[in-house]
Amino acid sequence: MRKFIFSIVGLVLLFSCSDGDLEIETIDFDSVSAQSCSALIPTSTNLLFKINNTEALILELQSGVLNNGVVGETVTTESSVPNQSQVIYRIFSDGVDNGYFCDNIPPAQPTVIDEVEAEDGMVIVETAVDPNDAGVFVHTISLSGISFVTESGERITNLTISQFGEVTTNVPN
């Protein structure tokens, strides 16, 4: 009888333990501002990122998507993911700061625990002249239909990242 009870307890423990796989349930960066390492250039590929403690959402915008448009008008440009722009979600072993993305030699710590690239979606950029400064364009970046699929084939469904943020570029002279 004692062997039977130990066998049952052992089986319950065996099947209830996690196999150690990392599960991503939500991606939430709403309360975090978009950052970049240098001035954004409309004619270049631009790297933007949002950091939320041990997580980062990275957006690599294709060249020209930050269209400076026309003074007095709002211009909308789109970029498809992953063909033109990339959206990447990373989980780190510890808290990360902008030095990870901006230093010439990235720090060795924290390390990347998991990385998932978006497989589908659109980046939408609305551009208008800043109403408070006619020398600056404001680019409002939105994400639409972004779809992340993990290595195990699981789709991350609870995405709350539709508004990536606002960035600025200078109006050319």
Asked if the structure places residue 21 within a domain, the reply is no
Q: Which of 60, 51, 37 is nearest to 97 (CA)?
A: 51
pLDDT band per the 50, 70, 90 thresholds, residue 20: very low
Asked if the structure places residue 20 within a domain, the reply is no
- The whole-model pTM stands at 0.80
Q: Is the pLDDT of residue 1 over 80?
A: no
Distance separating alpha carbons of residues 40 and 102, to the nearest angstrom:
14
Asked if the structure places residue 160 within a domain, the reply is yes
Asked if the structure places residue 19 within a domain, the reply is no
Asked if the structure places residue 9 within a domain, the reply is no
Q: Is the pLDDT of residue 4 over 70?
A: no
Per residue in 50-92, pLDDT (tens digit) is: 999 999 999 999 998 988 777 788 899 999 999 999 999 999 9
Beta strands in 26-157 (DSSP E): 26-28, 46-52, 55-61, 75-81, 86-92, 112-130, 133-149, 155-156
Tally of structural domains, the chain: 1
- Report the share of the chain in percent with pLDDT over 90: 48
Asked if the structure places residue 125 within a domain, the reply is yes
Asked if the structure places residue 74 within a domain, the reply is yes
Distance separating alpha carbons of residues 119 and 56, to the nearest angstrom:
17
Asked if the structure places residue 84 within a domain, the reply is yes
What 3-state class would DSSP assign to 67?
Answer: coil
Tell me which residue range forms the domain holding 118.
Answer: 31-170
